[in-house]
Structure 1
């Protein structure tokens, strides 16, 4: 009864309040009408006007949404990795790429297109339209130095295609490889200015690294680390990447059917590790048994027949130091042929996934007005491992596995268990007909890659071949001209550098149009060249790309080639035309001054270990981590150095199992875990038993809270790996040298990426893990 009385009083009060509100509103309305009639309240009179926009339909107060020019094409930009000019069937190679072939039949094939000889620089030039040194990208981001041309920081004065197209009404997305973020910005806290999101791309799905494990990639979705589907035994990144692009295209077409898109698609193939589905590898069984010497001859014959090269093109001489196939043992032939079968399967499978994207564009009716620029390789094929490897990270540890070691893995090559890379002979073969390969900026094997441009609505000459000199810096201005926009003078208030490239649109209609890009410099790790009107002057090569380069680049001998009648750069004519050589060397020096090429630095391995670049995290301090799903790239986690120590504080109840700290994985890494209550630390820097070391606690931990520490302590000879439990040493192991872990990611309280069989978390309670090179307090 009391509750009913209370509710009755509340309703009565609400009724009275509502009556007052209505009355007040009526009075205000009548008063407003009276004032308006009397002309005494202009503001009230204005309030009575109907809602409207500006006469031209634009917003008065809402921010105007940028719109692309009417009829602007979609743009699909594709760049593969470490693919030689003579690898794909489109350019006469032994690897079938039917979808790339189809694109060439419906578009234009460019046979004198050039890159920078290495990946990060090529990608920086591709995205900005500027020379790589002009945008701080003289070499890959991992070996940057504190000089204007080599910082690895793309400046705000060089807006990317993503930024420009986004500001002109495009939806933008990036899939696959990103190797244009400085090492010290790769951590989970960024900064993200030089991540894809900071370079104008609204969506990113891929990896931040030089290459990736196809079966266990360190994936990122925008800024967040994500894990591959642990329940998919057949997972491979190339398919996953295509799936995500197709999903994004579906959302874009469904949400914004009248808005064009720009998608940058950067597969990992054929960069090591070379991996592919087994059924694809098996398709190539026996296809390379004839060896790399015969394959080179076969490629050149096809190239001539297809019109890819001039009829009188000569095959570059054999690469110094590479054995003739006929000199190999039967076991070596069997092993090396299988490695090439894996590499071929990787590229063929990537092409197959690309075909799904083309099919979707056809299904949605978008193919006709989609400008597709497909660059098959960001430099020449890699010449990294003379005899190949079953672990791509071993090279950085100075370890060259024996043929016997690799033969043990022959049946697992291409799988997630073996991160292999083919021998130099196959890399050289797929650079046919040119000399040398990746990292060599003075030889066409490192510089020239196949490119196809397809745009059914904009290109009428289907299947045409274009021989004009072109360069990766030409792509951005080509896209701008096709869209009908000019490179902006300012972006976000920053005055922009001039575009260095020359748009290729003039070649779309005229196969015989004179080349407009008449001069171009090249430089990479001290090797350098200058092109001018068909002549190429460049430094000689007197080092092995698969090892340290201790030569002085300033003392290199220069050579001269007339590419007008020597397509494959085989005849040095410097003695015959000394004046021309002097002219081009002087031109190079002018370009060097303009684009920040000097000083030169040749030794990649010395630069990768440089301590003179900004750190991703502070050294010589303790870093405290708590268990989570956050993953830390190797560059943003305390590096293994003398004095490195990790201290974990855990609470156990019984015989728990599970991960405490992981970095890397099976091919290279370390892990601290509990195994039936026993602390176990395994240091596995190379994937080989010879370097692997394990230390354990004295037994299963008693219930309660414990402190487990692991440290690398300098010793008379090398180091001592030491484990302590609650301050007492339980086990030690000698370590000859500490090898940096360059691969994978670190994580606290979760398994490594390639561990899908063990516990997902530790059965113990991890309070924290402190890692550093100074003793944690």
Structure 2
């Protein structure tokens, strides 16, 4: 006779044992007592947890924190919960998300920069270690249902492919359900979606489709399903839409509601926002409005045409943010309707960093132009004014309005040195536990503190071992102590910040920082790190980093600079690297590896853009071996890369082989055969001979059918660095937005593709 199995709930070692409990085994069933099968459950009373994380939103954007964009959902949440006005992110998206989900500093989990810029150094390789299990994995193994919706951007770029591996995708890192996109941004009307690890297209039946709405629908449906099937099992949902990262896309009824509301410009908008912030009490009465940096032009110096462009870009952004607030409201309403609201810890972080300055001084219609280091002409942007916010726009407002929505702070996204980049609003509600709704909390906290807060709230300890791997320390500190004690002394005494050489350190009320002379919208030669000018702020009396005390307290500055080095060494920040895209050359694995040719098969879609990026700034060929139908004209895409904003496509239309090169959506060049393909087997190829000697130069494109040149044309320029932030490479169709302007939709090929071979030459 065997002894009954005893279950031990040592939650510090995961996974927990799942053997049946009790009972007795005897020679016969009649003499035995059946053990109980008891599913693993969290501690009694553990709440549901919802984390909402927006993208690229400045501290002073929403009306809930004094901004110009009405946010009734944010207002309602703040009235029954708490507003945090000294909460910080890392200043960049992937690092913030990695820190939030793991509770560790971003360099410690190898995410010191976005995944696309990964290098081989510890701190920067984008490989979140298994010794830093996500809060989703911890909750899942303690009996929670878990799901992620929206933006991920935390899988190494070379692993985002149909070949995986998939253990660093959301479903391999603690989320049982994932519906969203893997990269840094998404088209709001035609996103590159994944369900789990499978690429999917947006719902075909959807009318007036918008990604944010789709993500809200998916989360609401998932929660309802959980409540129906497992009502006694709490859930953890991570909802991270593409909003309000570029492209700023929203239906006209949302953006048109803001017509004329930003004609006063960014200088006046900051003054207006600052006054509202003080009236609301979301900043202290003695806070100062920081000055405009010399690199940002005063509004009155901007030409009338540029003012018109800038104001309309800001109207579209405001509509995008207002629409996002509306969709969050739908999620909140659903939780309340299901009776889940009172015992739901709802953490709403308004931005993974400050507002984005990627639109540059003037703002852009197509952000991919500036991301490739080029400049749009005013007349080009003006010609698209009515298209802003639509499916063919990748618009981004100018840095002046980005800066204005970061009121009252200096600078914007990427500035880990200043609060315009790192200080984001946060609202926390939990009706069952937070009894002082409507108040402001001012303890200094950081995004790494979210995971420990969730664990303390759920009664689940930080594990020491997960899946056989010893866990590294948590860098975060639970914020639960602030929920019902607004006067509690802040428990975070030290926090470093660093993004691409821009750095800062908070310590016991002081802040030392340097922006390393690095102005994204005004590139120039950077100083040596040893020559950086550091600033010093006393945050006990200077909420907004307005008064630099470096010259008055040199000893304190020296102390904090030395402490930064200690923290940098401890957190794998070194070596400092201030390079941009050039840092990745030869620094990380690629899909290509050492190959010079790659053959792809029909049906392979949404493959990473790395595949086609290897052809940029060099000669190459693309060859498709196909079989066309005998009863109809051949139609459809053979290979497509990119989409509306830049790309290329090799295809057949009405039986005619064609090749289109899309130069940033402003110039489409199409070359086509004049003779229709005969039924049966054919070979269609494009050969491109690059001029060489620089980036983004032209070359000769030749279209070949069965080995013979049928047409050719010279291109004067080509895209130097990349086509898109969210589209990839497709064989046999064109997923997402079309790369060519001669067809619509996915334009699937109606024949058979044996293979498509890309040859680097």
Common fold by TM > 0.5: yes
Q: Is the 8 A contact 2:416 2:503 kept in 1?
A: yes
More displaced stretch, 539-548 vs 414-423: 539-548
Q: Is the 8 A contact 1:632 1:746 kept in 2?
A: yes
- Structure 1, 193-202 or 671-680: larger mean CA deviation: 671-680
Shift of 1:555: 2.6
Aligned to 2:736: 753
Query: How far 1:626 moved relative to its partner?
Result: 2.3
Deviation digits for residues 612-661 of structure 1 (CA, Å, limit 9, x no counterpart): 20113435333222222632131355632323221111233464322221
Match of 2:83 among 103, 109, 114: 109
Q: How far did 1:758 drift?
A: 5.2
Determine the structure 1 residue equivalent to 2:753: 766
Q: Distance in 1 between matches of 2:207 and 2:196?
A: 25
Equivalents in 1 of 2:357, 2:745: separation in Å? 37
- Give 1:722 deviation, angstroms: 2.1
Corresponding residue of 1:501: 476
- When residues 448 and 101 of structure 1 are mapped into structure 2, their CA distance, relative to the original with a 3 A threshold, is same
In 2: Cα distance, 1:81 partner to 1:550 partner: 29
TM-score by length of 1: 0.90
Task: Assess if the C-alpha contact under 8 Å between 2:42 and 2:142 holds in 1.
Answer: yes
Aligned match for 2:272, one of 287, 295, 298:
298
Structure 2 Cα separation of the partners of residues 89 and 328 of structure 1? 27
* Equivalent-residue separation in structure 2 for 1:687 and 1:638 (angstroms): 18
RMSD of Structure 2 on Structure 1 (CA): 1.9
Given candidates 266, 289, 293, the residue that maps to 1:315 is 289
Of 128, 134, 140, the residue aligned with 1:166 is 140
1:338: Cα distance to partner?
Answer: 0.9
1:487 aligns with 2:465: no
Residues 247 and 714 of structure 1: CA distance in aligned 2, closer, same or farther (over 3 Å): same
Q: Which residue of 1 aligns with 2:708?
A: 728
Where does structure 1 differ by over 6 angstroms across 4 or more consecutive aligned residues?
none
Q: In 2, distance between residues paired with 1:156 and 1:738?
A: 38
Q: 1:224 aligns with which of 198, 203, 227?
A: 198
Q: CA deviation at 1:662?
A: 1.1
Structure 1, 399-408 or 514-523: larger mean CA deviation: 399-408
- Specify whether residues 45 and 166 from structure 1 end up closer, same or farther in structure 2 by C-alpha distance, changes over 3 A only: closer
Q: CA deviation at 1:522?
A: 0.6
SS in 1 for 2:199: strand
Which shifted more, 590-599 or 393-402? Answer: 393-402
Consecutive unaligned residues in structure 1, runs of 5 or more = 1-42
Maintained 8 Å contact 2:638/2:652: yes
**Do structure 1's residue 536 and structure 2's residue 511 form an aligned pair?**
yes
Question: Relative to 1, partners in 2 of residues 1:519 and 1:188: Cα closer, same or farther, differing over 3 Å?
Answer: same
Q: Which has the higher Rg, Structure 1 or Structure 2?
A: 1
State which drifts further: 387-396 or 517-526. Answer: 387-396
Q: Is the 8 A contact 1:431 1:437 kept in 2?
A: yes
User: Structure 1 residues 138, 549: closer, same or farther in 2, change over 3 A?
Assistant: farther
TM-superposition CA deviations, 1:18-49 (whole Å, max 9, x none): xxxxxxxxxxxxxxxxxxxxxxxxx9971243
Alignment of 1:281-680 (within 5 A): 281-385=255-359, 386-546=361-521, 548=523, 550-551=525-526, 552-607=528-583, 609-628=584-603, 630-636=605-611, 639-641=614-616, 642-652=618-628, 653=630, 655-680=633-658
Alignment equivalent of 2:33, drawn from 52, 76, 86: 52
Q: Give the Cα separation in 2 of the matches to 1:772 and 1:50.
A: 73
C-alpha distance in structure 2 between counterparts of 1:221 and 1:260, whole Å: 22
1:541 positional shift: 4.6
**d(CA) in 1 for partners of 2:713 and 2:659?**
11
Tell me the SS of whatever aligns to 1:368: coil
Q: What does the per-residue CA deviation read over 1:555-598, in whole Å, with 9 as the maximum and x for residues that have no partner? A: 31111111111111111111110110011011101111111111
Say which SS state the counterpart of residue 367 (structure 2) adopts: coil
Mapped contact 2:597–2:757 kept (Cα < 8 A): yes
Query: What SS class does the counterpart of residue 588 from structure 2 fall into?
Result: coil
Q: Report the CA distance between 1:549 and its aligned residue.
A: 6.0
* Cα 1:359–1:44 shift into 2, 3 Å: closer
Residues 625, 684 of structure 2: 8 Å contact kept: yes
Q: What residue in structure 2 maps to residue 16 of structure 1? A: none
| Inter-CA distance 618–256: structure 2 relative to 1 (3 Å threshold) | same
Deviation at 1:754, TM superposition (A): 2.0
Q: Hey, what's the Cα distance between the residues in 2 that align with 1:283 and 1:133? A: 42
| Matches for 1:259-278 after TM superposition, within 5 Å | 259-278=233-252
**Which shifted more, 739-748 or 218-227?**
739-748
**Conservation of the 8 A alpha-carbon contact between 2:516 and 2:529:** no
Question: Is the counterpart of residue 711 in structure 1 residue 687 in structure 2?
Answer: yes
- 2:31 and 2:326 mapped to 1: Cα distance? 57
Q: Is the 8 A contact 2:95 2:113 kept in 1?
A: yes
2:723 aligns to what? 741
**Equivalent residues in 2 for 1:236-251, closer than 5 Å:** 236-251=210-225
Q: Is the 8 A contact 2:25 2:32 kept in 1?
A: no
Does the aligned pair in 2 maintain the 1:186–1:616 contact within 8 Å? no
Tell me whether 1:235 sits opposite 2:209 in the alignment.
yes
Counterpart CA distance in 2 for 1:414 and 1:742 is 17
Aligned to 2:47: 73
SS of the residue 1:133 aligns to: coil
**Residue 23 of structure 1 aligns with which residue?**
none
Change (3 A) 1:259 1:734: same
- Secondary structure at 1:394 match in 2: helix
Give the number of aligned pairs: 722
Shift of residue 285 of structure 1?
A: 1.2
Correspondent of 1:697 among 673, 684, 705:
673
Q: Secondary structure at the match of 2:641?
A: strand
Q: Which has the higher helix share?
A: 1
- 1:395 deviates by 1.6
Q: Which residue of 1 is the match for residue 666 of structure 2?
A: 688
Distance 1:591 1:638 in 2: 37
Q: Is contact 2:201–2:735 with CA below 8 Å preserved after alignment?
A: no
CA distance in 1, matches of 2:522, 2:654: 44
The 2-side partners of 1:686 and 1:279 are apart by 27
2:9 aligned partner: none
Query: Cα deviations across residues 460-513 of structure 1 (Å, max 9, x unaligned)?
Result: 011111010000011111111111111000000100011111111111111111
Aligned to 1:29: none
1: distance between equivalents of 2:128 and 2:213?
30
Deviation at 1:450, TM superposition (A): 0.3
Deviation for aligned residue 1:703: 3.3
1:396 shift after superposition: 2.4
Match of 2:166 in 1: 192
String of CA shifts for 1:645-694, please: whole Å, max 9, x gaps.
211112334643222211111111111111222111111141121xx433
Seen in structure 2, the aligned counterparts of structure 1 residues 737 and 662 have a Cα distance that, compared at 3 Å, is closer
Against the structure 1 CA distance between its residues 44 and 546, is the aligned structure 2 distance closer, same or farther, given a 3 Å change threshold? closer
For the structure 1 residues 658 and 737, does the alpha-carbon distance in structure 2 shift closer, same or farther, using more than 3 Å as the test? closer
Aligned to 1:143: 117
Return 316-325 or 434-443, whichever deviates more. 316-325
Seen in structure 2, the aligned counterparts of structure 1 residues 296 and 437 have a Cα distance that, compared at 3 Å, is: same
2:151 — aligned with what?
A: 177
Distance change (3 Å), C-alpha of 1:103 and 1:51: farther
Find the residue that maps to 1:632 and give its secondary structure. coil
Q: Is the Cα contact below 8 Å between 2:735 and 2:746 reproduced in 1? A: no
